[in-house]
Amino acid sequence: MLYTLACYIPLWLVGIFINFPNSPLWIVLSIFPITAPIQTMLRLGVSDIPPWQLTASIGLLVISIGVGLFLAIKIFRVYMLMYGKRPGLKEIIQSLKNA
């Protein structure tokens, strides 16, 4: 739910930033992994994006996908045998520290 709302932030703010395509907030939103796909497409339609910003955006997306996949695999592996028992947030954090 939160991820879905965060993806729409660039679309909600496009009216404000259309006049200032290279503002620092627009640049940060185009590099931040959650809003990067939509924000980068909006910026490409309005102005040119420097190559380093495109590279940083794609690089952070790849890194965040890798980290998310790694954490999901660790959590799945630890709690595979705990069928029927719902782990708490404290148990998940503790198992990630120990694993």
> Tokens 């729409």 belong to which residue?
8
What predicted TM-score, i.e. pTM, was given to this entire model?
Answer: 0.69
Total domains present in the chain: 1
For 34-86, the pLDDT digits (tens) are 888 888 888 888 888 899 999 999 999 999 999 999 988 888 877 776 667 77
For 53, the token pair is 């910003």
| Alpha helices in the chain, H assignment, sequence order | 2-7, 9-17, 24-31, 36-46, 51-79, 89-98
Q: Which domain holds residue 51?
A: 2-98
